[in-house]
Amino acid sequence: MKTFKGGIHPPEEKDLVKNNPIVDLPLSSVFYVLVQQHLGAPAKPIVKPGDEVKKGQPLSEPLGFVSAPVHAPTSGKVTAIAKRVHPVTGLLAPCIVIEADGKDEWVEGLPLNRDPFTMKKEELMGAIQSAGIVGMGGATFPTHVKLSPPKEKTIDTFIVNGAECEPYLSSDHRLMLEQPERVLNGMRIAMGILGLNKGILAIEANKPDVIKIMEEKAPPEIMVEPLKVKYPQGAEKQLINAITGREVPSGGLPMDVGAVVQNAGTCAAIWDACAHGIPLIERITSVTGRGIKHPKNIRVRVGTPIQEVIDFCGGLTEAAKIIYGGPMMGIAQFSDQISIMKGTSGVLVLTEKDTNISWYSGCISCGRCVEACPMCLIPSTLSKLGEKSMWEMALGNDLLDCVECGSCTYVCPANRPIVHFVKHLKALQRAANAKKKGA
Amino acid sequence: MKDLFVSSSPHIHSPEDTPWIMRQVIYALIPGALIGVYFFGIPAVTVIAVAVVSCVVVEALWQKLTGKDITIADGSAVLTGLLLAMNLPSGSPWWLVCLGSLIAIIVGKQVYGGLGNNPFNPALVARVFLLISFPVQMTTWPQPRSFFSQAADTVTGATPLGALKTAIFEHGTVTAAPHLNLMDPFLGNIGGSLGEISALALILGGIYLIVRKVISWHIPVCYIGSVAVMTGIFWFINPNMYADPAFHLISGGLMLGAFFMATDMVTTPITNKGKIVFAIGCGVITVIIRLWGGYPEGVSFAILIMNALVPLINKATKPGKFGAV
């Protein structure tokens, strides 16, 4: 079975939630829609307090190509454009507050019913761009940008990432199992846009039910590729490497080796946008971990307050950490005054026993991080440089090649927060660059 | 809502931490230590106890005096003490053992900043220091006998490697050395350092470490393999001057060195390629000292010399990163 070099085998912990069918979260009475839910140029709100909005109506206007709008998750009234904690940056960020009217009425004309396979490429791209679709695995890069590589790059490989290698999470698992057509049809649309007549759906072998159903349903141009269970199998560069044997060059992008990768959830959103004109206003999220009473896979509107999600799942048992995303790359939250975003693949509540709260000691040069690193770096050196804030020297030790997957940190017997040090070094480097540009 | 913990990802961690690793190595040393106790009796128990206790006490005292966090709970001082004891003659007087602990912990480890920063294997630094400073005490080898037939008067004698060297010096040929049944060093029925006498017990411990993935196979296999190949070549050329490889493999400190001293993570290369280079270097130097050096045994020196080269090896064997352009 195909895989990549390095990596780790953390406990999967998916049994907590993987057998729970997707359930709809009841409509919230108030929604907090952050304006910036993508990676790239900002967007600006186009509604003001007091405005009546309908479900699916755009709330913001992207400023630039690498940007994405957000849409009203339900019908109601904009009560404020306030500052709320952004779960990714941890900073206060502009947020459109909508009081739901309970009618959940679509904006005029939606949903459409059209055949995307008769539509032109430009129409499809327009539908995806205006639907505000971003990478739903968590990276939130605008999807229309990924689907429009520059002319000089020849794309010959399209991979849909259904690896879901993060422990605990099962949102992609449930989506692919329960709604395989949405994923496969979205895939076919993306293949059409890229001008390819074949695509690969990559799934980790720990989801045999999904592999079976996809092999049954997939049209001949889509190949289902089971992958070895190993973290970070779903990391973009590792996934491309496992399937094609190619290595995305240092500092480069997947398109440099002719590949485009989209998450399975993103494909489902592409289908909704192209076939029905529905913008990205809801997603499937795993609410799991031993800190939550009744783990569930939920279909939830973007902007739903986290408190409602937690209450719907029976509340907390004991919460040491609340994480957006999985335990390997997810972001620990310091507040419960946050809402669901387009990239929230999971709301993970870890108990103190299940997480890692302890101090670190000196590196014992055991080399476990070197063995684990899927990018073939020397993480121990980066961690020592990070401890001393020596970012310039770290650049020479391939700082910028680190994908922050956390494999090194997971295995480090001295419990060194290597990813933390790497992020610290990268931040220092960014600050120095910004200063240089300013001066 | 109560306060949440916040930190960088990842939020989960392998249960295999530094104290776990130290514990595994200690467990793996137990068979070898028990064989030492069986053949050398109460004095061996005393040496082990004094070494372990004094190492822990010295580490705690030093850290207290220098105002550092006391880290004796990580198990590394216990392990250093045990390794030191296993590298000493079983009849070592208590003061020699304590001096060894002092050197191992302070000169071998703490002056560099403690665990993780020392370039040389602390137990070997102490052993070589004692060997050079107290050659008589350090080469007085009590002869093995069953634990149940220990007498007050200890008989001492040469180690097999020592007897070999004497035979070459005095008679010009290895065939003059007393014949050795290879089952004796395999099971431990020979003179030598407390913990090096039984190749079998040490190999079992080493296999345990490899199976539990505490160490990788690279260093022991390449170290032992290079000794076997090199001594084999010279034995093949001239069996009168050079002992056979089987003898070299299971006598002396090779097994203890290859499985437990040359695999010390702190003082060995970080990549598998580097570990192979390091281990072959250890093997070559060990054989050079054994065949042509003044000392009968070369494992300690070989590992220390290669320890010094680790930064260079690390530099030369840096892995090619993913997507290198």
pLDDT (tens digit per residue) in B6-34:
999 999 999 999 999 999 999 999 999 99
Determine whether the interchain pair B265/A411 forms a contact, defined as Cβ–Cβ distance below 8 Å: no
Across A163-186, average pLDDT: 95
Res A374: pLDDT: 95
In angstroms, the CA B305 to CA B309 distance is: 7
In angstroms, the CA B184 to CA B253 distance is: 14
Whether residues B180 and B276 share a domain: the answer is yes
Q: What Cα–Cα distance (Å) separates residue A209 from each residue in A175, A199, B284, B312? A: 12, 20, 55, 51
In angstroms, the CA A425 to CA B202 distance is: 44
In angstroms, the CA A272 to CA A170 distance is: 21
Across A253-259, average pLDDT: 93
Whether residues B27 and B124 share a domain: the answer is yes
Whether residues A149 and A298 share a domain: the answer is no
Q: Which run of H or of E encompasses A349?
A: strand A346-350
From chain A, the residues in CB contact with B74 under 8 A are: 361
In a domain, B284, yes or no: yes
Whether residues B168 and B94 share a domain: the answer is no
- Measured N-to-C along each axis, helices B42-65 and B18-40 cross at an angle, to the nearest 10 degrees, of 150
Whether residues B103 and B167 share a domain: the answer is no
DSSP state letters, A115-183: -GGGS-HHHHHHHHHHTT-B-TTTT--BHHHHT---TTSPP-EEEEEE---SSS--HHHHHHHH-HHHH
Closest CA to A185 of A275, A281, A299: A275
Query: Given CB atoms, is A380 within the 8 Å cutoff of chain B?
Result: yes
Residue of B8, B11, B266 lying closest to A350 (CB–CB): B11
Residues A16 and A347 sit within 8 Å (Cβ to Cβ): no
Q: Look up the pTM and report it.
A: 0.91
Residues with Cβ < 8 Å from A230, sequence gap 6 or more?
Answer: A3, A4, A7, A8, A9, A165
* Range in A296-300, A351-355, B175-179, B245-249 with the lowest mean pLDDT: B175-179
In a domain, A8, yes or no: no
Indicate the pLDDT class of residue B151, thresholds 50, 70 and 90.
low
Whether residues B186 and B69 share a domain: the answer is no
Give the count of Cβ contacts less than 8 A between chain A and B.
Answer: 163
From chain B, the residues in CB contact with A401 under 8 A are: 321-323
Q: Which domain holds residue A393?
A: 368-434
Whether residues B266 and B223 share a domain: the answer is yes
Give chain B's domain count: 2
Q: What is the CATH number of the domain that holds A170?
A: 3.40.50.11540
Indicate the pLDDT class of residue B152, thresholds 50, 70 and 90.
low
Res B131: pLDDT: 92
3-state secondary structure of B170: helix
Res A409: pLDDT: 96
Whether residues B166 and B134 share a domain: the answer is no
In angstroms, the CA B33 to CA B28 distance is: 10
Closest CA to A411 of A366, A361, A357, A344: A366
Indicate the pLDDT class of residue B304, thresholds 50, 70 and 90.
very high
Residue type, A428: L
Across B56-62, average pLDDT: 96
In angstroms, the CA B51 to CA B39 distance is: 19
In a domain, B27, yes or no: yes
| Res. B154: pLDDT tops 70 | no
Closest CA to B116 of B14, B231, B266, B222: B266
Residues with Cβ < 8 Å from A277, sequence gap 6 or more?
Answer: A109, A110, A111, A112, A114, A127, A131
In a domain, B5, yes or no: no
Res A345: pLDDT: 93
In a domain, B175, yes or no: yes
Residues A308 and A314 sit within 8 Å (Cβ to Cβ): no
Whether residues B46 and B163 share a domain: the answer is no
* Range in A273-277, A319-323, B121-125, B161-165 with the lowest mean pLDDT: B161-165
* Range in A223-232, A268-277, B139-148 with the lowest mean pLDDT: B139-148
From chain B, the residues in CB contact with A349 under 8 A are: none
Alpha helices in B172-298 (DSSP H): 183-187, 199-211, 218-237, 245-250, 254-256, 272-292
Query: Given CB atoms, is A378 within the 8 Å cutoff of chain B?
Result: yes
Res B103: pLDDT: 96
- Domain end call among B138, B166, B188: B138
Whether residues B165 and B250 share a domain: the answer is yes
Residues A212 and A361 sit within 8 Å (Cβ to Cβ): no
Whether residues A423 and A404 share a domain: the answer is yes
Interface probe with A: pick from B63, B272, B322, B325, most Cβ of A within 10 Å: B322
Res A357: pLDDT: 80
Residues with Cβ < 8 Å from B323, sequence gap 6 or more?
Answer: A237, A247, A248, A249, A250, A252, A375, A401
In angstroms, the CA A159 to CA B102 distance is: 60
Between B141 and A130, the more confident residue is A130
- Domain end call among A246, A276, A306: A276
B10: preceding bond cis by omega (within 30 degrees): yes
* Range in A59-73, B173-187, B234-248 with the lowest mean pLDDT: B173-187
Q: What Cα–Cα distance (Å) separates residue B91 from each residue in B95, B105, B155, B237? A: 12, 22, 10, 38
Residue of B6, B18, B323 lying closest to A364 (CB–CB): B18
Determine whether the interchain pair A419/B10 forms a contact, defined as Cβ–Cβ distance below 8 Å: yes
Q: What angle do CA A267, A283, A276 make, to 5 degrees?
A: 60
Determine whether the interchain pair A376/B322 forms a contact, defined as Cβ–Cβ distance below 8 Å: yes
Q: Tell me the backbone φ, ψ of residue B109, rounded to 5 degrees.
A: -135, -55
pLDDT tens per residue across span A410-434: 999 999 999 999 999 999 999 999 8
Q: Which domain holds residue B66?
A: 18-138
Whether residues B93 and B159 share a domain: the answer is no
Residues with Cβ < 8 Å from A336, sequence gap 6 or more?
Answer: A306, A307, A310, A322, B1
Residue of B74, B320, B322 lying closest to A361 (CB–CB): B74
From chain B, the residues in CB contact with A330 under 8 A are: 9, 11
Res A328: pLDDT: 96
The complex scores an ipTM of: 0.90
Across A382-393, average pLDDT: 94
Whether residues A284 and A218 share a domain: the answer is no
In a domain, B324, yes or no: no
Interface probe with B: pick from A353, A356, A405, A416, most Cβ of B within 10 Å: A356
pLDDT tens per residue across span A133-170: 999 987 899 999 999 999 898 999 999 999 999 999 99
Residues B86 and B299 sit within 8 Å (Cβ to Cβ): no
In angstroms, the CA B164 to CA A86 distance is: 75
Query: Given CB atoms, is A361 within the 8 Å cutoff of chain B?
Result: yes
Determine whether the interchain pair A367/B271 forms a contact, defined as Cβ–Cβ distance below 8 Å: yes
Whether residues A257 and A385 share a domain: the answer is no
- Measured N-to-C along each axis, helices B94-102 and B42-65 cross at an angle, to the nearest 10 degrees, of 30
Give chain A's domain count: 3
DSSP E strand boundaries for B96-233? 141-142, 156-157
Which tokens sit at B320? Answer: 């090619």
pLDDT tens per residue across span A77-134: 999 999 999 999 989 999 999 999 989 999 988 888 899 899 999 999 999 999 999 9
In a domain, A232, yes or no: yes
Whether residues A175 and A159 share a domain: the answer is yes
Which tokens sit at A362? Answer: 């000196």
